Amino acid sequence: MTALIVKVPGKTILVGEHAVVYGFPAIAIPVLQLITTVKVFPKIGKLPDDIVFHAPDINLRATFSQLDSKHPFSIAIRAVKTFFKLPTYPACDIHINSSIPISAGLGSSAAVAVGLIRALSNFIGANPNPETIAKLAYQVEMEYHGTPSGIDNTVIAYQKPILFQKDQPLKIIIPINPITILIANSGVPGKTKDAVAGVRNRQTISPEIINPLLEKIGEIVNLSVTAIQNGEIEDLGMLMYENHYLLQKIGVSHEKLDLLVNTAKQNGALGAKLCGGGLGGNIIALVHPEQAAQIAKKLKSMGATQTYLAHLEGNF
């Protein structure tokens, strides 16, 4: 066995977060500018299952045996061993580094899960397809997070824009024209678990209020697919603004996110909305490429701590 390196991207939800948890569709896109890297090095002459994890981003250095069984690194090892029917796993050092911000709605945990599954599989000579990697990564996410929708691990495994709907066939979306997305970190940590739980609580107490809002988000997603495939970028932008309004109504926005969305709109963004779980984290803005730098500057002047660009190439 030889050393290897696996790199996987972050992600953002273009439209449809939260509603996707209730069976409605959502569009997710890979963010290739943000990367999680997993390096695996063989430990020659060491006993099987002598595995050491190095994750400086979270100040972790631990052996497989030291990790709690519910730790995602441990879950990933066991998932790969079970899938490939391995009684033990070869001794190795695993180094994990990421440029994806944590608790920002950009898929940091899912990227680690996908990266680990792919690296662990490749290290033993296997090359599972994206569907298999997504399913194994979902096991990691599910055991660790509880009830993820499955969209994060799927878009990161495929590394293509997708239309995702639970228990429905996956659809790859091909834009007819290039699309530029500006991502801005609000500086407020996202609270995905709290946001999801809050929507669930409000939906249980007042389904007559929340359910129509979730249904409307689902309709926006389907209209957005048409806009992307037809190159109707202005229509896509307006749908994003409408999506943000609905996310406000279901209670997952934050005053800082609203401020940044409004700033983007006032400075020429075609569309903008929060992305991910909400209550903090990031916004995304649909922009003309030539306007991206100026809008990013304005967002930073209003408190955005970092900005990133994501590009979707068109199918000419």
User: Which of 11, 36, 34, 33 has the alpha carbon at shortest distance from 275?
Assistant: 11
137 φ, ψ (degrees, to nearest 5): -65, -35
Place of tokens 């929507």: 199
The 10 Å Cβ neighbour count of residue 48 is 12
Tell me the Ramachandran region of residue 85: left when phi exceeds 0, alpha when psi lies from -120 to 50, beta otherwise: left
Amino acid identity, position 150: G
Cα gap 117→110, rounded to integer Å: 11
The 10 Å Cβ neighbour count of residue 58 is 9
Cα gap 141→51, rounded to integer Å: 21
Residues with Cβ within 8 Å of residue 208, at least 6 apart in sequence: none
Q: Which residue intervals of 62-146 are DSSP H helices?
A: 72-83, 108-123, 130-145
Structure-token pair, residue 200? 């669930």
Place of tokens 């995602």: 72
Residues taking part in catalysis: 152
Cα gap 139→12, rounded to integer Å: 20
Note the residue count of the chain. 316
- String of b and e for 16-43 (b: at least 16 CB within 10 Å)? bbbbbbbebbbbbbbbbebbbbbbbbee
Tell me if 243 sits within 8 A of 220, measured CB to CB: yes
